Amino acid sequence: MGKLSLGKLSLGKLSGDVLADIHTSLGAQVSGSGSGLAENRIESIYQRQLLVKEIKAHIPRFQYNHPELAKTLAALWREVNTKAVTEEALNTYRLAFNNFLNQKVLPVLEEEKRRQSLEAEKQPKRRRLWLNDGSCIRLRPERKDHVWSYDFMIARTAEGRAFRILNIIDEYTRECLAILVKRRITSQDIIDQLFQLIIFRGIPEHLRSDNGPEFTAKVVRGWLNRLGVKTLFIEPGSPWENGYIESFNGKLRDELLNREIFTILTAAKVLIEQWRQEYNQVRPHTLVRLPAACS
């Protein structure tokens, strides 16, 4: 039977250093033996190590969903790893392992693939855009502070650590009211940022967002309800229903985030605030109504 490998490790892909190490460690043991016998013994040990590694690579794949398969593989791994095997026994183990993969493992994987395909076919079709009152099509901004919108973005500093960006805009004037940059932004951070804006600008009539956990949190919704702000949640998985903030996010990403390397978080805060000031003051949107961003 041909060689079959389903894991990350495959027979024949190990470094030649492994074989060299076996030669070194067995040099004293086989020095008195014939050259052919020594080479056969070394090759058998090398092939056993390959088989042991391949068997072990498959065990984590099944230990949670199919523990009986993982248990069988673990038993085979222990037997091959602990016993001194001849070339004939090694071939027997190899044949047993290949048979196990073809007769036990492959049917399980094919059944899982078939089940996932059936589940995908059973997903109901959805009307996304026209059923949700939170859409920017159903409720268009008509005046300043009529509808605010906020959303999250993610970027990284030079060392690879992620930080979050909270953008808040006025959909009518397209003005960016605030950008909050922190490693972690909680529901309380959102309330604090909105509170600062409301003090200086007033209370908006509506606040549009997606269904992120920070936006749908009871503490945020309760606080907005006490202020008389109506929350507008778009349909899950339909970012085009929040077209104004998505358009703004794209500008911020293309004009700044994709062009700058932020060495530290403070540098990101400074540069993003400078960009916000330029966006609002140097090249502001006209107050004349423009076509909707998502139309």
Q: For the domain that residue 249 is a member of, what is the CATH number?
A: 3.30.420.10
Among 73, 104, 121, identify where a domain stops. Answer: 121
Q: Do 165 and 243 lie in a common domain? A: yes
What is the C-alpha separation between 199 and 224, in angstroms, rounded? 14
Q: Do 227 and 116 lie in a common domain? A: no
Q: Do 262 and 205 lie in a common domain? A: yes
In a domain, 132, yes or no: no
In a domain, 126, yes or no: no
In a domain, 41, yes or no: yes
Q: Do 262 and 178 lie in a common domain? A: yes
Nearest-CA neighbor of 147 among 65, 230, 83?
A: 230
Give the pLDDT score at 198.
94
| CB contact set of 82 (below 8 Å; sequence gap of 6+) | none
Q: How many residues does the chain have?
A: 295
Burial of residue 46 (CB within 10 Å: 0-12, 13-18, 19+) is middle
Q: Do 161 and 44 lie in a common domain? A: no
In a domain, 136, yes or no: no
In a domain, 131, yes or no: no
Angle at the Cα of 92 from the Cα atoms of 59 and 84, rounded to 5 degrees? 80
Give the pLDDT score at 109.
76
Nearest-CA neighbor of 139 among 220, 211, 233?
A: 233
Q: Do 108 and 225 lie in a common domain? A: no
Q: What is the mean pLDDT of each run of 10 residues along the chain (295 residues)?
A: 36 36 39 48 64 70 67 72 65 73 76 77 57 60 90 92 95 93 94 94 92 89 92 83 90 92 93 93 62 44
Range of the domain at 77: 16-121
Number of domains in the chain: 2
What is the C-alpha separation between 151 and 165, in angstroms, rounded? 8
In a domain, 109, yes or no: yes
Residue 226 has which token pair?
Answer: 């006490």
List helix spans (H) across the chain: 16-25, 27-30, 35-62, 67-82, 87-100, 106-121, 187-201, 213-216, 218-227, 243-252, 265-277
| CB contact set of 203 (below 8 Å; sequence gap of 6+) | 145, 227, 228, 229
Q: Do 258 and 175 lie in a common domain? A: yes
In a domain, 67, yes or no: yes
Among 60, 87, 121, identify where a domain stops. Answer: 121
In a domain, 254, yes or no: yes
Q: Do 105 and 173 lie in a common domain? A: no
Q: Do 189 and 105 lie in a common domain? A: no
Exposure of 64 in the CB half-sphere (CA atoms within 13 A): 2
How is 125-161 classified by DSSP, letter by letter?
P---STT-TTSTTTS---STTSEEEEEEEEEE-TTS-
Strand partners, 262: none
Give the pLDDT score at 122.
66
Q: Is the dihedral of CA 183, 188, 191, 197 positive or negative?
A: negative
Give the pLDDT score at 288.
40
Q: Do 193 and 71 lie in a common domain? A: no
Give the pLDDT score at 291.
45
What is the C-alpha separation between 213 and 202, in angstroms, rounded? 25
Q: Do 152 and 90 lie in a common domain? A: no
Give the pLDDT score at 134.
54
Q: Do 72 and 152 lie in a common domain? A: no
